[in-house]
């Protein structure tokens, strides 16, 4: 198992043989430790599909929206991404629509060479855009990042030239880990009911759509 906890930030090596299970176990642990344990889950997947390295969040949102879990909400997909231009409005809407939910923010990041290919997660907000010197609204109760490349002098160019296969592999790993955690969390919340429903679009907005399982 290749997993390290540093200052309450967990690092999971995507190439580890048990990466998905380790990631899912840690995420489940973080959810249970949240003061909001028992509430709905909101996954805020941040990024733009117009930049390869920044498309990690929308890819994960796209994948998650195909897997129903009761009481789970997805913001940010390939069709309706959440990015710098609409992040604040989306975050404000989430606060209004899901005031008690556990918000799990997901984004791509750049890091050191030794941590390239690692997934990080922990308690606290995510600071999107920090890796490319952008000051955006901090969001989330739990953060997830995928370190898709090495930070350097021209970080935006690094994001543009990151290989799609690298981002896709990271998105698959994080998505499967999230689903692993959601399955356990949902089972605890809905142990009295074994029915599972399909995702439907329940709200619309000019810049994004919200996906959730039916009640």
pLDDT score of 214 more than 50? no
For position 69, what pLDDT does the model report? 80
Higher pLDDT residue, 192 or 212? 212
For position 76, what pLDDT does the model report? 96
Helix runs in the chain, H state only: 19-33, 56-64, 87-97, 155-161, 164-189
The string of DSSP codes covering 113-141 is GGGTTEEEEEES-B-TTGGGT-----B-S
Tokens encoding 132: 């490319």
pLDDT score of 48 more than 70? yes
Strand 199-204 with 3-6, pairing: unpaired
Asked if residues 173 and 43 have their Cβ atoms less than 8 Å apart, the reply is: no
Q: At what angle do helices 19-33 and 164-189 cross, to 10 degrees?
A: 50
Tell me which of 41-50, 148-157, 161-170, 205-214 is least confident: 205-214
The string of DSSP codes covering 28-49 is HHHHHHSTTTTS-EEEEEB--T
Chain segment 101-160, per-residue pLDDT in tens: 999 999 999 988 899 999 999 999 999 875 455 678 899 999 999 999 888 766 767 788
For residues 159 and 122, give the distance between their C-alpha atoms in angstroms, rounded to a whole number: 23
Contacts of 32 (CB under 8 A, 6+ apart): 185
Q: Which domains does the chain have, with CATH numbers?
A: 3-213 (3.40.50)
Asked if residues 30 and 12 have their Cβ atoms less than 8 Å apart, the reply is: no
What is the four-CA torsion angle of 14, 59, 199, 210, rounded to 10 degrees?
Answer: 120
pLDDT score of 79 more than 90? yes
Q: b or e along 38-49 (b: 16 or more beta carbons within 10 Å of the residue's beta carbon)?
A: ebbbbbbbbbbb
For position 211, what pLDDT does the model report? 47
pLDDT score of 208 more than 70? no
What is the reported pTM? 0.84
Answer positive or negative: Cα dihedral of 83, 164, 50, 158: positive
């Amino acid at each position: 198992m290749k997993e390290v906890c540093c200052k309450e930030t967990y690092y999971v090596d995507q190439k580890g043989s048990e990466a998905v299970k380790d990631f899912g176990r840690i995420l489940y642990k973080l959810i249970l430790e949240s003061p909001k344990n028992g509430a709905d889950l909101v996954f805020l997947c941040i990024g733009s599909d117009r930049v390869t390295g920044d498309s990690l969040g929308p890819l994960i949102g796209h994948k998650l929206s195909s897997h129903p879990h009761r009481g789970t909400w997805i913001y940010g997909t390939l069709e309706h991404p959440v990015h710098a231009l609409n992040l604040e409005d989306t975050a404000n809407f989430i606060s209004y629509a899901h005031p008690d939910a556990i918000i799990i923010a997901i984004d791509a990041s750049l890091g050191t060479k030794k941590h390239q290919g690692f997934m990080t997660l922990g308690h606290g907000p995510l600071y999107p855009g920090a890796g490319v010197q952008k000051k955006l609204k901090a969001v989330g109760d739990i953060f997830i990042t995928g370190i898709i490349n090495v930070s350097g002098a021209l970080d935006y160019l690094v994001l543009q030239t990151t290989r799609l296969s690298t981002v896709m592999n990271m998105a698959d790993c994080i998505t499967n880990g999230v689903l692993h955690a959601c399955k356990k969390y949902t089972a605890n919340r809905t142990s009295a009911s074994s029915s599972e429903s399909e995702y439907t679009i329940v709200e619309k907005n000019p810049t994004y759509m919200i996906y959730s399982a039916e009640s």
